[in-house]
Amino acid sequence: MKITRALVLVAALAAVAMATVPLGAQQPPIKIGEINSFSGIGAPFTGPYRSAVEMAVEEVNAKGGVLGRKIEVLFRDDKGQPAEAVKHAQELVASEKVALVSGTFLSNVGLAVSDWAKQNKTLFVAAEPLTEAITWSKGHDYVFRVRPNTYQQGRMLAASAGKMKYVKWGTIGPNYEYGKRAWETFRDRLKELKPDVQVVVDQWPALGKIDASAEVGAILAKNPDALYVSLFGSDWLAFVREAQKRGLFQKMFVVGILLGEPEYIDPLKTEAPEGMLVTGYPWYDLTQPAHKEFVARFTKKTDKNPVLGSLVGYVTYLSIFEAIKKAGSTDTDKLVAAFRDLKVETPVGPITYRAVDGQSTLGAWVGTTKIDAKRGVGVMVNHEYIAGDKVLPSADEVKKMRN
């Protein structure tokens, strides 16, 4: 009898304990699959990107999560390979039951995941891949993109370059989707603004395998007035060092997409070329209170200054959290609907995901490079933030591209 009464008492106490646990704490976490190039040429961007994602998740979970559920991110390294990324997407959805997939770095990888998402009706939030095809010619209902694409950044740069005297142009970029698109959109807009432009040399080294000496020699042999560069990562560092030896930057004006980003200018230190027209991220000069707070939190967490990857990672996950809140659910169709015209407050101001194409209105900074002697690195000066929606095509133009 005593044993029976004891068991009844234990059961009653357990029931009371369970009843006093908040409902949200009993629910499973919301899982998000994050696929990115955490190794290889993308690491300078994706390492800080991951740190900022983790910071965003820690902050939202400290406030109780989203819809009363904690957020859990499952990270996968695609190693810069489209097939690897698709394999991870399949595993994350089928085995881990993630609510959506996000991330990717290289444009060809992003396109592969986007196509998989379309076929499998899975939400894909593309953080970094820049080819405009993701949201336009190959766009669909299940993909949304965070960063301003090659079309937008190309037009930003062309607006300034088109006012300059340079007529004979050359280009060098990685021989894949991003490099080609980055040049074509800049070139086409430049010719609209300056019809007498001529292209005298174009060089397309394989990504991650540049022969800097041969490439610099080929460009110098054609002697363009100006050079458009879409190299990045280790390819860009190797090119700069060879070009500096041979005086390339003194012989022609250089325009560089992405080359004002700390990921790619900081490693050069005082070797960074001065006077280039670039897009980038002058975090050290931005005065918005929300951005200063973001920098302070990121620096405290990582003991490092932010790079553009840090900002993109943070904004990507703020966007995902807001979409889940707006949807009130993790149901895919409801999340897709929530992302259309979704407004998100970010450290650099509000952005919106356009309903017509899923492209966010996050902008970019355009400025000129200069050596900061005190910090011993290249920085952006005379920079201007250009909102993404200032350089986006109309809804009718997008519909034509998608058709």
Rounded Cα distance, 262 and 259, in Å: 8
Range of the domain at 241: 151-282+365-391
Mean pLDDT of 386-399: 96
Residue 11 lies in a domain: no
Residue 396 lies in a domain: no
Residue 97: per-residue pLDDT: 98
- Do 262 and 300 fall into the same domain? no
- Do 121 and 247 fall into the same domain? no
- Do 157 and 268 fall into the same domain? yes
Rounded Cα distance, 385 and 382, in Å: 10
Q: What percent of the chain has pLDDT over 70?
A: 94
How far lies 35's CA from each of 46, 91, 361, in Å? Answer: 10, 11, 23
Copy the structure tokens of residue 74: 């499952």
- Do 240 and 324 fall into the same domain? no
- Is pLDDT at 6 greater than 90 in this prediction? no
* Domains: count for the chain: 2
Mean pLDDT of 228-252: 97
- Do 236 and 189 fall into the same domain? yes
pTM of the model: 0.92
Specify whether the CB–CB gap between 132 and 181 falls below 8 A: yes
- Is pLDDT at 2 greater than 60 in this prediction? no
- Do 169 and 233 fall into the same domain? yes
Strand, coil or helix: 60: helix
- Is pLDDT at 350 greater than 60 in this prediction? yes
Angle at 374 between CA 370 and CA 380, to 5 degrees: 25
We report the CATH number of the domain holding residue 299 as 3.40.50.2300
Residue 13: per-residue pLDDT: 42
Residue 135 lies in a domain: yes
- Is pLDDT at 357 greater than 90 in this prediction? yes
- Is pLDDT at 324 greater than 70 in this prediction? yes
pLDDT tens digits for range 306-318: 999 999 999 999 9
pLDDT tens digits for range 101-131: 999 999 999 999 999 999 999 999 999 999 9
In 3D space, the residue among 234, 243, 245, 175 whose CA is nearest the CA of residue 205 turns out to be 175
Residue 201: per-residue pLDDT: 98
- Do 250 and 304 fall into the same domain? no
Residue 16 lies in a domain: no
- Do 78 and 140 fall into the same domain? yes
- Do 257 and 373 fall into the same domain? yes
Residue 200 lies in a domain: yes
Copy the structure tokens of residue 188: 């086409």
pLDDT tens digits for range 55-102: 999 999 999 999 999 999 999 999 999 999 999 999 999 999 999 999
Angle at 70 between CA 65 and CA 73, to 5 degrees: 115
Residue 245 lies in a domain: yes
- Is pLDDT at 17 greater than 70 in this prediction? no
How far lies 4's CA from each of 10, 178, 227, in Å? Answer: 10, 72, 86
- Do 330 and 261 fall into the same domain? no
- Is pLDDT at 400 greater than 80 in this prediction? yes
Copy the structure tokens of residue 251: 């012989």
Residue 136 lies in a domain: yes
Cβ-based neighbour number of residue 11 at 10 Å: 10
Question: Which helix or strand (DSSP H or E) is residue 271 part of?
Answer: none
Average pLDDT, the chain: 94
Mean pLDDT of 236-240: 97
- Do 182 and 260 fall into the same domain? yes
- Do 323 and 336 fall into the same domain? yes
Rounded Cα distance, 123 and 335, in Å: 8
- Is pLDDT at 21 greater than 50 in this prediction? no
- Is pLDDT at 20 greater than 90 in this prediction? no
Residue 264: per-residue pLDDT: 96
Residue 402 lies in a domain: no
DSSP β-bridge partners for residue 35? 76, 103
How does DSSP classify residue 171? E
